């Protein structure tokens, strides 16, 4: 059975990608809204230390998680010609590795005491190790859904499992006084539900396969992806490891919740696109020109939303913290403001990493991550005297370095001039300045009214959405206008029936009136007789 889609027509791939982004975005928005509500409830039921313990346990879990899959998920998506035997090989490897590393994590978790000096982390990490087994069982089914770009099904799986696991199991146990274990139970329950639902809709073969012939190509790509993911994990976890060890779980809990607040809205904007972009990029991995155009278009469009969102959170940090976490989390406000830049830039740089994965530029990506890992500890040491704020500032500088290194890679691999690579951020930076200025003005107007934080936040969000919508859709800068026109042109708006087609066609004419201007007419020549 061959499931290759590398030769799909351009229009089909574009439309499939758009549909995938639509469903992925819907799922991400719903999940993010539920996460905000879940966090607001749990932050009032549990102490900051409980979140700190789970954050440290998740570091231990992720340590084994990257090797428990060996990149089998990405290998299934990236492979151009996939056979039934490849699927069986990937499932067999995922189950065996998940069970093996889950067991090792249970046995080795007590050693984390020497790293974190927190005995409470050990049983929590051991309980969460069950997630590795569940991931091994569900990874192949989820990868096949992503490869087939069945994001509507994935959206239903993701949202329904989150509602039951976190809204049902987690909150119920927290209300019953189970403390940190309510967080653990919610995480494990979601992993179980995702695995069951994903397999029910794919029904792939679960017959083990022991022939190395079908493992070798998956292993060759997947093992390198696994090493890269592990190095990325180290880079993203250094701040958690150091703060947990040096400053304790209470301050780590404050730091962790600030990072969650600043990354969640931006993650919501970015992850829905990135989930679809990797399988889409993989289908055109050999077409350099097309890959270049899609990358530039994607980053321009996403940056136009991500950067102003980060700027808005920077200004509205007090309203965010007091509305969603409560008054006892005031120490998160300055952290949130500093972290907003880091989160936005790192998530945009993620697109360059996806290009590297799709084009199998794994050696170059590994070198970039190693360079980042060599510099980041030095930045942490340089700013460690400033407490958690210092670590956040160090991450900002590290994010700039990381973005610069990937720009150099894209410059050589996709033949993109540096000016063009920097230009994709132009519309987003302009939007960020405008949104931050408007937010600052609105906050000044609201201060005399002494509104509750929730009411003030809702007003700011409404104003921000209107301003950003006008900037993106009504008065886009030339670079953004060009990418919007190119994107909509690939959708063939005239081919859509009904109201949607007419609206798209009118909007395209609004963005690019010159392309639809009527041909000039000239009066017919007349002969004047003497």
For residue range 67-86, what is the model confidence (pLDDT) as tens digits?
666 666 777 776 667 778 77
Identify the pLDDT of residue 6: 38
Q: Can you tell me the distance from the alpha carbon of 358 to that of 361, in angstroms, rounded to the nearest whole number?
A: 8
Q: Can you tell me the distance from the alpha carbon of 384 to that of 370, in angstroms, rounded to the nearest whole number?
A: 22
Residue 453 CB burial class (10 angstroms; 0-12, 13-18, ≥19): middle
Please name which of 141, 133, 173 lies closest in space to residue 157, comparing C-alpha atoms: 141
Q: Which two tokens stand for residue 98?
A: 């998940």
Q: Can you tell me the distance from the alpha carbon of 362 to that of 369, in angstroms, rounded to the nearest whole number?
A: 11
Please name which of 70, 56, 60, 221 lies closest in space to residue 136, comparing C-alpha atoms: 70
**Dihedral angle of Cα 253, 67, 344, 464, to the nearest 10 degrees:** -70
Residue 516 CB burial class (10 angstroms; 0-12, 13-18, ≥19): exposed
Q: Can you tell me the distance from the alpha carbon of 117 to that of 114, in angstroms, rounded to the nearest whole number?
A: 6
Q: Can you tell me the distance from the alpha carbon of 140 to that of 73, in angstroms, rounded to the nearest whole number?
A: 6
Identify the pLDDT of residue 247: 64
Q: Which two tokens stand for residue 184?
A: 């653990």
Identify the pLDDT of residue 483: 79
Phi-psi region for residue 142, left (φ > 0), alpha (ψ -120 to 50) or beta?
A: alpha
Contact 339, 262 (CB under 8 A): yes
pLDDT band at 467 (very low <50, low <70, confident <90, very high): very high
Q: Which two tokens stand for residue 188?
A: 């494990």
Please name which of 174, 177, 188 lies closest in space to residue 135, comparing C-alpha atoms: 188
What is the mean predicted confidence (pLDDT) over 510-521?
63
Alpha helices by DSSP H, listed for 247-361, are: 249-283, 288-315, 317-324, 332-358
Q: Can you tell me the distance from the alpha carbon of 148 to that of 503, in angstroms, rounded to the nearest whole number?
A: 30
Q: Quick check: 284 pLDDT over 70? A: no
Query: Pick the residue with more confidence: 379 or 254?
Result: 379
Cβ contacts of residue 225 below 8 Å, gap of 6+?
A: 71, 74, 75, 357, 362
Query: Pick the residue with more confidence: 230 or 419?
Result: 419
How many CB atoms are closer than 10 A to CB 286?
A: 10
Burial annotation 468-493 (CB, 10 A radius, 16+ → b, else e): beebbeeebbebbebbbbebbebbeb
Q: Quick check: 111 pLDDT over 60? A: yes
Q: Which two tokens stand for residue 91?
A: 């499932």
Please name which of 161, 138, 51, 60 lies closest in space to residue 102, comparing C-alpha atoms: 60
What's the DSSP call for residue 517? P
Could you tell me how many residues make up the chain?
530
Q: Quick check: 436 pLDDT over 90? A: yes
Q: Can you tell me the distance from the alpha carbon of 309 to that of 139, in angstroms, rounded to the nearest whole number?
A: 32
Q: Quick check: 407 pLDDT over 90? A: yes
Angle at 389 between CA 385 and CA 395, to 5 degrees: 100
What's the DSSP call for residue 528? P
Q: Quick check: 10 pLDDT over 50? A: no
Q: Can you tell me the distance from the alpha carbon of 390 to that of 384, in angstroms, rounded to the nearest whole number?
A: 5
pLDDT band at 96 (very low <50, low <70, confident <90, very high): confident
Q: Can you tell me the distance from the alpha carbon of 162 to that of 170, in angstroms, rounded to the nearest whole number?
A: 10
Q: What is the mean pLDDT of the chain?
A: 78
Contact 147, 3 (CB under 8 A): yes
State the first-to-last Cα distance of the chain, in angstroms, to the nearest integer. 82
Q: Can you tell me the distance from the alpha carbon of 315 to that of 427, in angstroms, rounded to the nearest whole number?
A: 19
Q: Can you tell me the distance from the alpha carbon of 463 to that of 469, in angstroms, rounded to the nearest whole number?
A: 10
pLDDT band at 7 (very low <50, low <70, confident <90, very high): very low
Please name which of 348, 111, 372, 361 lies closest in space to residue 232, comparing C-alpha atoms: 372
How many CB atoms are closer than 10 A to CB 100?
A: 16
Identify the pLDDT of residue 306: 86
């Amino acid at each position: 059975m061959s499931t290759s889609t590398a030769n799909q027509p351009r229009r089909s791939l574009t439309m499939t990608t758009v549909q995938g982004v639509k469903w992925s975005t819907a799922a991400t928005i719903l999940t993010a809204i539920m996460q905000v509500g879940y966090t607001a409830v749990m932050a009032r039921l549990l102490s900051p230390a409980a979140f700190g313990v789970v954050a440290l346990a998740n570091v231990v879990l992720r340590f084994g998680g990257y090797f428990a899959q060996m990149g089998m998920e990405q290998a299934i998506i990236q492979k151009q010609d996939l056979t039934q035997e490849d699927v069986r090989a990937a499932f067999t490897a995922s189950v065996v590795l998940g069970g093996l590393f889950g067991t090792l994590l249970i046995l080795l978790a007590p050693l984390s005491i020497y790293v974190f000096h927190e005995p409470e982390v050990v049983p929590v990490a051991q309980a969460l190790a069950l997630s590795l087994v569940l991931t091994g069982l569900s990874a192949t089914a989820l990868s096949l859904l992503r490869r087939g770009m069945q994001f509507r099904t994935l959206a239903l799986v993701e949202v329904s499992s989150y509602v039951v696991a976190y809204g049902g199991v987690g909150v119920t146990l927290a209300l019953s006084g189970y403390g940190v274990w309510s967080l653990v139970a919610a995480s494990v329950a979601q992993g179980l539900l995702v695995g069951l639902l994903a397999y029910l809709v794919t029904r792939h073969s679960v017959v083990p396969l022991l022939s190395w012939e079908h493992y070798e190509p998956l292993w060759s790509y997947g093992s390198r992806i696994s090493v890269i993911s592990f190095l990325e994990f180290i880079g993203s976890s250094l701040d958690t490891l150091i703060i947990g060890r040096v400053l304790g779980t209470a301050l780590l809990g404050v730091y962790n919740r600030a990072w969650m607040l600043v990354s969640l809205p931006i993650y919501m904007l970015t992850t829905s696109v990135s989930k679809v972009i990797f399988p889409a990029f993989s289908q055109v991995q050999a077409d350099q020109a097309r890959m270049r155009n899609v990358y530039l278009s994607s980053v321009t469009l996403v940056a136009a939303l991500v950067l102003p969102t980060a700027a808005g959170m920077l200004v509205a940090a007090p309203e965010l913290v007091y509305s969603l976490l409560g008054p006892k989390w005031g120490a998160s406000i300055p952290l949130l403001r500093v972290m907003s830049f880091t989160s936005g830039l790192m998530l945009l740089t993620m697109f360059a990493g996806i290009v590297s994965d799709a084009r199998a530029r794994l050696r170059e990506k590994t070198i970039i991550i190693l360079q980042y890992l060599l510099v980041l500890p030095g930045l942490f040491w340089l700013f460690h005297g400033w407490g958690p704020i210092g670590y956040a500032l160090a991450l900002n500088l590290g994010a700039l370095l990381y973005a610069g290194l990937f720009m150099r890679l894209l410059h050589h691999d996709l033949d993109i001039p540096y000016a063009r690579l920097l230009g994709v951020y132009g519309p987003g930076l302009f939007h960020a300045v405008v949104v931050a200025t408007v937010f600052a003005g609105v906050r000044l107007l609201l201060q005399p009214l002494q509104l509750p934080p929730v009411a003030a936040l809702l007003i700011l969000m409404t104003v921000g959405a209107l301003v950003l919508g006008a900037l993106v859709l009504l008065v886009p800068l030339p670079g953004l206008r060009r990418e919007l026109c190119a994107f909509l042109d690939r959708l063939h708006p005239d081919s859509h029936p009904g109201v949607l087609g007419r609206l798209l066609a009118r909007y395209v004419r609004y963005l690019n009136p010159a392309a639809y201007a009527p041909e000039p007419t000239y009066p017919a020549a007349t002969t004047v007789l003497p």
